[in-house]
A and B are shown apart, each in its own frame.
Chain A
Amino acid sequence: DAMVIQNPRYQVTQFGKPVTLSCSQTLNHNVMYWYQQKSSQAPKLLFHYYDKDFNNEADTPDNFQSRRPNTSFCFLDIRSPGLGDAAMYLCATSSRTSGYNEQFFGPGTRLTVL
């Protein structure tokens, strides 16, 4: 089945220690998104790639970076995690050719910062 895969599902890091979260997709969608979701809150868009074009949200901290080496993979790098970065990180994909931005989400990575 076509799907969005995130690894790892759970990640524990130490305050200030860089961490990388990964996302892969078999949907062949040209748009990939990274969201941050804290407990009982709506997902918050961090950035997205339209093909190789990177689009950063204005309020996304510089501490968060992303890479998309090819269509299938996208990475979220947190350079110096703080306690406030503990959250669920969601990857999503969509096909802009559909015109209506239906987004399909992965299972998420739960990040804990000690």
Chain B
Amino acid sequence: EDQVTQSPEALRLQEGESSSLNCSYTVSGLRGLFWYRQDPGKGPEFLFTLYSAGEEKEKERLKATLTKKESFLHITAPKPEDSATYLCAVFGNQGGKLIFGQGTELSVKP
């Protein structure tokens, strides 16, 4: 069964304190791993898609990486506006749907 586990559940950082969020997955035939940002009371906002191990993508202070078992979302010098819940999801060959993790709630204090 396809499964996604995100850690930590919650992360509190000081502004400028870099860190990483983890997404561990088991999937039958990975066709894509997706990162989303979700602000309270809003829909998830698409950030990145990663397709194969070794791939990396960057957007402003965020960098996503992928291995055969996990993905990391690295946040460099975060700002308070980066505070949100970050969701990871996978799409595999079986099941035909996105499998989401529970999310990591990030709080960045000034």
Contacts and interface: CB of A to CB of B under 8 A. Distances in A.
Is the pairing of A and B real?
Answer: yes
Interface of A: 4, 6, 40-43, 45, 48, 55, 57, 88, 90, 92, 99-108, 110
Contacts, number: 52
9 contacts: A45-B97, A99-B31, A100-B31, A102-B34, A102-B46, A103-B34, A105-B44, A105-B46, A108-B42
A42 B100 contact: yes
Interface in B19-74: 31-32, 34, 36, 41-46, 49, 51
Contacts of A48: 97
- A interface: dominant SS: loop
Interface of B: 31-32, 34, 36, 41-46, 49, 51, 87, 91, 96-98, 100-103
In the complex, which of the residues A6, A42, A102, A110 has the most CB atoms of chain B within 10 Å of its own CB atom?
A42
A26 B97 CA distance: 22
